Copies of this chain bind each other. A is one copy, B any other.
């Protein structure tokens, strides 16, 4: 297999984007990536579109995007793995370049969630749970993650303040990211006193539906090196699944797919959690970031709460996490998120993140979860 590099990144503004169709959102990010890499779009051999199609009115989204980007007649398809769709697309695109099928490909994450009515979105989201055994009884995602939080509190003594510290940190960094949906800090008091959603989770423990797009251009080693300068490589990939139904999970204090995917990625990259300098993890709810810290080996099981409260996940701490605001403050356009995470890590490795920059970042990680861990993808990016 050939080594694969990220040679271009693009990232649009996340939020309520009534100003643009989904294909316009895609173009905005794609154009930025093409300009940044300074390549001729005629070089792009194939496109992977990452999106969860049912949230848009437009069906057959990949076809619409490929036409709008002007990339016909080259092939295109859509890859979906719920909220991990962006990483699933990145994995399959990586594989095609590694195999030697294409020298340069595009991965376009794009999602427009605000054109459906809220009731439609709730109905759709509920059906991400097992419709035969669970969602018919009213389970929702905040409820699922509340189960994880309750279990973590009971077993390890995790506190509401520790959960809230995740939100405070991520809003702090969101306020420093011009592409974030919420560019406003939130105090501990504000988080703790926000409206209850599913006990113990409150509004500020939850990320928000958003519109938004991001784009990555991947290239073979030869093509990447021809551009000159340092290269950011995608050197470690891990991907795993776990049972759909909560009733078939053995433990609610960990996502087994995250543990397995990170094991694979670390092995492939030949580096462990101690070598990672910056990470983007899937904080769809505050408890999810705490689980991620433990599943990825950044701290021991049960220590995610105190670790966060102590500031170890801020810039200057042991492992800066979600310093772009995370899903929490940046927003969570579900199909786009995995691509957005990779864009942030690549830019961190290039030292291009301004006041959010993590000093000395040479190895970065993304952790992208679908559902309640039915899917998990972990990637390791290296600058050299």
Nearest chain B CB to A184's CB is how many angstroms away?
A: 31
Q: Do B370 and A73 touch across chains, with their CB atoms under 8 A apart?
A: no
CB-CB under 8 A for A59 and B128, given A73-B242, A92-B92: yes
A49-107 interface with B by 8 A CB criterion? 52-54, 57-60, 62-64, 66-67, 71-82, 85, 88, 91-92, 95-96, 98-101
CB-CB under 8 A for A244 and B64, given A76-B81, A79-B79, A101-B1: yes
CB-CB under 8 A for A260 and B80, given A54-B53, A60-B371, A62-B375: no
Which residues does chain B contribute within 8 Å of A63, judged by CB atoms? Answer: 81-82, 241, 244, 370-371, 374-375
CB-CB under 8 A for A242 and B72, given A95-B95, A101-B95: yes
Q: Do B130 and A64 touch across chains, with their CB atoms under 8 A apart?
A: yes
Which residues does chain B contribute within 8 Å of A21, judged by CB atoms? Answer: 132
Nearest chain B CB to A374's CB is how many angstroms away?
A: 3
Select A241's contact among B74, B80, B101, B257, beta carbons within 8 Å.
B74
Q: Do B72 and A53 touch across chains, with their CB atoms under 8 A apart?
A: no
Which residues does chain B contribute within 8 Å of A52, judged by CB atoms? Answer: 53, 59
In the complex, A297 Cα to B373 Cα: how many Å? 47
Which residues does chain B contribute within 8 Å of A80, judged by CB atoms? Answer: 53, 62, 77-80
Copies in the complex: 2
Q: Do B239 and A75 touch across chains, with their CB atoms under 8 A apart?
A: yes
CB-CB under 8 A for A60 and B242, given A77-B79, A99-B95: no
Which residues does chain B contribute within 8 Å of A239, judged by CB atoms? Answer: 46, 75
Assess whether A198 is interfacial by the CB under 8 Å rule: no
Most chain B beta carbons < 10 A, residue from A73, A91, A239, A240? A73
In the complex, A255 Cα to B374 Cα: how many Å? 38
Q: Do B62 and A127 touch across chains, with their CB atoms under 8 A apart?
A: no
Most chain B beta carbons < 10 A, residue from A63, A66, A377? A63
In the complex, A81 Cα to B66 Cα: how many Å? 12
In the complex, A85 Cα to B289 Cα: how many Å? 34
In the complex, A124 Cα to B364 Cα: how many Å? 40
Assess whether A243 is interfacial by the CB under 8 Å rule: yes
Assess whether A151 is interfacial by the CB under 8 Å rule: no
Assess whether A245 is interfacial by the CB under 8 Å rule: yes
In the complex, A7 Cα to B96 Cα: how many Å? 22
Select A99's contact among B98, B131, B248, beta carbons within 8 Å.
B98
In the complex, A347 Cα to B194 Cα: how many Å? 61
Most chain B beta carbons < 10 A, residue from A67, A80, A374? A80
Q: A59-B128, A64-B244 are in contact. List 14 more A-B contacts (CB 8 A).
A: A53-B80, A58-B132, A60-B82, A60-B244, A60-B370, A60-B371, A62-B80, A62-B81, A63-B370, A63-B371, A64-B130, A71-B241, A95-B95, A95-B99
Give 9 nearest A-B pairs by CB, closest first.
A63-B374, A99-B99, A75-B239, A77-B88, A59-B127, A77-B81, A59-B128, A78-B80, A60-B128
Which residues on A are within 8 Å of B, measured CB to CB?
A: 1, 21, 46, 52-54, 57-60, 62-64, 66-67, 71-82, 85, 88, 91-92, 95-96, 98-101, 124-125, 127-128, 130-132, 239-245, 248, 256-257, 260-261, 370-371, 374-375, 377
